[in-house]
Amino acid sequence: MESRLLRVNLSTNEIKTEVIPHALFERWIGGSGINNWIMWEHFLNHDINCDPRGPDNIFVFGVGPLAGTGAGIGVKGRITFKSPCYGIFGDSTGGGKFPYVVRFSGYDYIAVTGKAPKPVYLHIANNEVTLCDARHLWGKNSSEAHEALQKELGDYPSEVHTLTIGQAGENQVGIAGVISDGWRIHARCGGGAVMGSKNLKAIAVQGNLGIKVDNPGGLLDWSDDFRQKIDTNEAGYGFKRRGTLGAVEMYQRIGGNFWRNNQGALFRGEEVRSDNWVKKYHKYSEVCSSDCYIACDGRYKIEGNESDKAEKYIGESFRHPEYLTTGSSAGAMDVRDWAEVAHWGKITNEYGIDNQDLSCSISFIMELRQRELISDKDVAELFGKSQRLEWGNMEDIESLIRSVVHQENPFGWMFRDGAYWGALRYSEKMGQNFMKYAIYGKGGASFTEEMRPFPTWMNNMAVASRGADHLKGIGLIEKFQRKDLSKAYFGTPIAGDPTVPDLKGACTAVIENQVALINSYGVCMFHWLLDPLGYAPESYYGKAYAEVTGIDRTKEELMRDGERICNLEKAFNSRLGMRREHDTICERWMHEPAPEGMYEGRVAADMFDQVLDEYYEWRGWDTATGLQTQSKLEELGLQDVADVLASERALAGEQGRKSVQVSKAPGDDPGLPD
């Protein structure tokens, strides 16, 4: 396996190409695994405690070896960087055609450092790479920039694919995302702010060089078998129509939704249900890339007669809202109309901003007003004008979005890095402690699902390397109560019982290893979730990986590869001072009883420490500090990583008990008013 890395230094205009040796794929698989290693090596030569918005941060794009090969598992690209909103390891995934067209141009990885003196975009046309003036694109939203580049770069705009930022990234809003082809957002961790801080508006790519496959015949046989499996999988049919929106009803049954800043666990009203979306708005299903056998994405166009609210959005068209877009609007902010939920998804994508963190910032301030903890005068000072802050009021919501995206007022400045840092800043300004109303987990990251009754999910929010997150440790065992999967994984059904803590930390550890493989293959995880045993990434997908790369691994070896990737992400955070005390969740999740649902009255604190201990034990890490051990890293072939951690007192043992207490938001202070 041979692959090429494009390195771009925006400070010096230096552009160079490197060959990634076969040995690195045997160690890191590809995709996010290689991304992580590129960033790890970068921060061996640059200060890891640097300002994430400064020129010493690195922005890495990468895509794994299965992407674009015709395997049929979908395509996902990965961006990796030090997070400007959480100050820790940051990465995010996204679809679209951009990821595999990068491969068709002859590159698999792009690493950008430094800062351009003026806005630029990077243009890759097969072997020709140039930095181009982007001042005419600055100020455009994500789809406008994408369309402008398509027109600018040739007679065949459909062959031009882009990675762009919107106005949120330009203004270095910490929770800004990066958008693939104008409509698929890499939302989490602030990659848009990193691009914006480098004056990098976009990466545009055109490529037709093809991809080398070690055994094309073997891959075709595997792909045909996979297509037949998908075609006979009954769960796939519902997924084609609803995508992730099917979770709305399931969560309503178990009390897993997130309502009004998680004051409740069930959506209100009957309109926001997946059946209503399909009947009223769904126009057609489509794939987000050209290499997928499911097509769980879809398009809508608002006619105006679907509801009273729909009249405001006649003619609006975009991709359908995913579950988390729905959870952040219908849930966090109590928006009860599908047209407005869809509009929320479209405008946050256009601005290029993470709607999870943004919605929790908005719902935080709405709850303070609801509880009369702040006055009309306080609100006017916060926004520079009167603001109603009504639940579900889209005019209010759009005003608050603009406040953050354009950094218009104190609310925008304070909440640019999400709900945790915003709540902390506002508490300090007001001389009151409002932190009990802030929703967050590790790193200060927000998330819009109910956590309290679900021990695996709460553990995921506490330990995920990129901050509170479900995708790093996602799985169907607990919330779906899949005792069959529990027996297959652990030999006992108990992991599928959410009322007890046993094997919940184990679930996180095992699934994180599998997800690391999927992200490193460069494919979509949703196919796997349709049949976690039949499409196991360490065995079934591993066969496809062998056909493409020539690297034939046992399932045990591949699971160890996934574990190695997770340990490198952990090591990055350990170098930044992250310890057990940082693997935590917010006060509401930890101590406030779940108000409704199947598990009313449950609090995370009842099981939290036991589950976290078990997670560390399954990881082979020290339970007292949460740090990695010398023996585990040696076992994984990571002695070089252990040496770095030991030299910085970030390895378990007496020398590793030093803890850095995070007390200030990462990056430069926005200069908040008194």
Q: What is the CATH number of domain 3-206?
A: 3.60.9.10
Instruction: Write down the mean pLDDT value for the chain.
Output: 94
Mean pLDDT of 574-600: 97
CATH architecture, range 234-443: Orthogonal Bundle (1.10)
- Residue pair 7/61 in contact by the 8 Å Cβ criterion: no
pLDDT number for residue 1: 66
User: What does the DSSP assignment read for 515-580?
Assistant: HHHHHHHT--SHHHHHSTTTT-TTTHHHHHHHHHHS----HHHHHHHHHHHHHHHHHHHHHTT--G
pLDDT number for residue 156: 65
466-488 pLDDT, tens digit per residue, is 999 999 999 789 989 999 999 99
Mean pLDDT of 571-582: 98
d(CA 501, CA 44): 39
Residues 6+ apart with CB under 8 A from 173: 190, 192, 193, 353, 404, 405, 407, 416
Rg (CA), the chain: 23
Find tokens 């030093």 and name the residue.
658
Mean pLDDT of 538-563: 97
What residue spans in the chain does CATH classification 1.10.599.10 cover?
451-646
Per-residue pLDDT for 661 more than 60? no
3-class DSSP assignment, residue 154 = coil
235-288 pLDDT, tens digit per residue, is 888 888 899 999 999 999 999 999 999 999 999 999 999 999 999 999 998 888
pLDDT number for residue 41: 98
**Amino acid symbol at 92:** S
Beta bridge partners of 163: 180, 203
- Two tokens at 184? 């698929």
604-619 pLDDT, tens digit per residue, is 999 999 999 999 999 9
Question: Measured over all CA atoms, what is the biggest interatomic distance in the chain, rounded to whole angstroms?
Answer: 70
- Residue pair 244/100 in contact by the 8 Å Cβ criterion: no
104-117 pLDDT, tens digit per residue, is 999 999 999 999 99
Q: What burial class does residue 554 get, using C-beta atoms within 10 Å of its C-beta: 0-12 exposed, 13-18 middle, 19+ buried?
A: exposed
Position 657 confidence tier, pLDDT thresholds 50, 70, 90:
very low
119-160 pLDDT, tens digit per residue, is 999 999 998 999 999 999 999 999 999 999 999 998 765 689
pLDDT number for residue 240: 85
DSSP 414: H
Per-residue pLDDT for 355 more than 50? yes
- Percentage of the chain lying above the pLDDT 90 cut: 91
What residue spans in the chain does CATH classification 1.10.569.10 cover?
234-443
- Residue pair 432/420 in contact by the 8 Å Cβ criterion: no
- Residue pair 637/630 in contact by the 8 Å Cβ criterion: no
What residue spans in the chain does CATH classification 3.60.9.10 cover?
3-206
205-233 pLDDT, tens digit per residue, is 999 998 999 999 999 999 999 999 999 99
- Two tokens at 249? 């009803």
- Residue pair 255/453 in contact by the 8 Å Cβ criterion: yes
> Has domain 451-646 been given CATH number 1.20.1600.10?
no
304-330 pLDDT, tens digit per residue, is 999 999 999 999 999 999 999 999 999
DSSP 151: H
